[in-house]
């Protein structure tokens, strides 16, 4: 591929700001400002929705870049980490729930400050559960969507008459050239579920069964001190959860990405031989646009 074509793979910032992304940013920003307007002093808990939303934006941008750099003549479903759009929607949803919960506890500290001490257990369990669930959620069905598929349109005029009459070609119009291996999916599922359960059990245990001075710390809410109200007690495990949950999810996504991009070149070459020359070049060109790794692997084609 020429350098000029390679440069076309990168979208400008204004091209990445599509309607869906702008909608998410506007909704999140407005709700976040509502929370900040309550005059929070300690911003630790406000990091949770920011991290969740940042991952959502990351997947939204990947989805935009991927589909806008793929030509319409040949449809290549390239999903090495699952459906980015679905990941973005799920993380956006959980980030909004986190903001709603923060806004509620902040409002309660003003309107019912004497009740805050009774919310310790409830808030610790629900808030940390929402945060960990978002990163767990994006990986539970990654098996269904993590794949690389080549799909040629039946009505594509670029297909030769001989190719259209070829029974083998018709059977291969929707061809999976790479899919997440079953062994890899089991590893991802076990680690993902184990991390989610372990962090939440650890959080509940520290909140319930360990001495308060060791397991929890005082967290001052916007209305703390009104009518002599006490600060909210937060589990110290929250410091681990805010880092471990997205870190494990990131490592698993990298693992899935590497597993998906190890395609079987023999099967791929056999597929290409069944296609007309023009379509064969189209497929190779599109794959190298999507992932530079294929630029090296398929250079000989």
| pLDDT tens-digit profile, the chain (301 residues) | 334 444 455 555 556 677 889 999 999 999 999 999 999 999 999 999 999 999 999 999 888 877 665 554 456 778 889 899 999 999 999 999 999 999 999 999 999 988 888 888 899 999 999 999 999 999 998 888 888 887 765 544 444 444 444 444 444 456 777 788 889 999 999 999 999 999 999 999 888 876 566 778 889 999 988 888 889 889 889 999 999 999 999 999 999 998 887 776 676 777 777 777 777 777 777 777 666 656 555 554 4
Find all residues with CB under 8 Å of 159, minimum gap 6, and list them: 152, 276, 279
Position 34 in a domain: yes
Position 213 in a domain: yes
Residue with tokens 């767990």: 136
3-class SS of residue 265? helix
Element containing residue 147 per DSSP (H, E): strand 147-151
User: Whole-angstrom Cα distance, residue 183 to residue 168?
Assistant: 30
Domain range for 210: 12-142+176-267
The closest alpha carbon to 119, from 135, 102, 131, 136, belongs to 102
Partner residues linked to 218 by β-bridges: 233
3-class SS of residue 235? strand
Sign of CA dihedral 205, 208, 209, 212: positive
Position 289 in a domain: no
Whether the CB-CB separation of 85 and 290 falls below 8 Å is answered with: no
Domain count, the chain: 1
Per-residue pLDDT, 178: 79
What distances in angstroms separate CA 201 from CA 134, 156, 217, one per listed residue? 17, 55, 18
User: Whole-angstrom Cα distance, residue 36 to residue 114?
Assistant: 22
Position 195 in a domain: yes
Whether the CB-CB separation of 191 and 248 falls below 8 Å is answered with: yes
Find all residues with CB under 8 Å of 238, minimum gap 6, and list them: 44, 45, 124, 128, 203
Secondary structure of 30-86 as H, E, C letters: HHHHHHHCCCCCCCCCCHHHHHHHHHHHHHHHHHHHHHHCCCCCCEEEEEECECHHH
Position 239 in a domain: yes
Per-residue pLDDT, 264: 66
Position 17 in a domain: yes
The closest alpha carbon to 129, from 248, 36, 238, 46, belongs to 238
Partner residues linked to 151 by β-bridges: 75, 174
Helices (H) and strands (E) counted in the chain, each on its own, are 15, 5
The token pair at 28 is: 């999140």
Position 85 in a domain: yes
Cα 103 to chain centroid distance, Å, stands at 25
Residue with tokens 């959502």: 56
Position 67 in a domain: yes
């Amino acid at each position: 591929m020429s350098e000029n074509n390679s440069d076309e793979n990168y979208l400008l910032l204004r091209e990445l700001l599509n309607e869906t992304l702008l909608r998410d940013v506007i909704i999140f920003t407005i709700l976040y400002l509502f929370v900040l307007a309550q005059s929070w002093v300690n911003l630790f808990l406000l990091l949770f929705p920011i991290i969740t939303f940042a991952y959502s934006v990351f997947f939204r941008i990947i989805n935009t870049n991927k589909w806008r750099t793929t030509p319409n003549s040949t449809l290549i479903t390239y999903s090495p980490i699952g459906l980015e759009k679905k990941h973005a929607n799920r993380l956006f949803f959980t980030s909004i729930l986190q903001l709603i919960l923060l806004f509620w506890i902040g409002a309660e500290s003003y309107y019912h400050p004497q009740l805050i001490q009774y919310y310790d257990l409830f808030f610790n369990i629900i808030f940390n559960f929402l945060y960990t669930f978002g990163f767990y959620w994006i990986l539970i069905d990654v098996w269904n969507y993590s794949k690389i598929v080549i799909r040629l349109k039946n009505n594509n005029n670029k297909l030769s008459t001989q190719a259209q009459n070829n029974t083998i070609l018709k059977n291969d119009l929707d061809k999976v050239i790479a899919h997440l291996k079953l062994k890899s999916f089991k590893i991802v599922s076990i680690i993902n579920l184990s991390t989610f359960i372990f962090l939440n059990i650890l959080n509940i245990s520290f909140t319930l069964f360990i001495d308060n001075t060791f397991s929890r710390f005082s967290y001052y809410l916007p209305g703390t001190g009104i009518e002599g109200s006490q600060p909210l007690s937060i589990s110290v495990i929250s410091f681990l959860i805010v880092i471990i949950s997205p870190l494990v999810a990131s490592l698993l996504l990298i693992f899935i990405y590497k597993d998906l991009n190890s395609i079987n070149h023999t099967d791929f070459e056999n597929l290409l031989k069944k296609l007309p020359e023009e379509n064969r070049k189209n497929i190779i060109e599109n794959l190298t646009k999507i992932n530079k790794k294929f630029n090296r692997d398929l250079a000989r084609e």
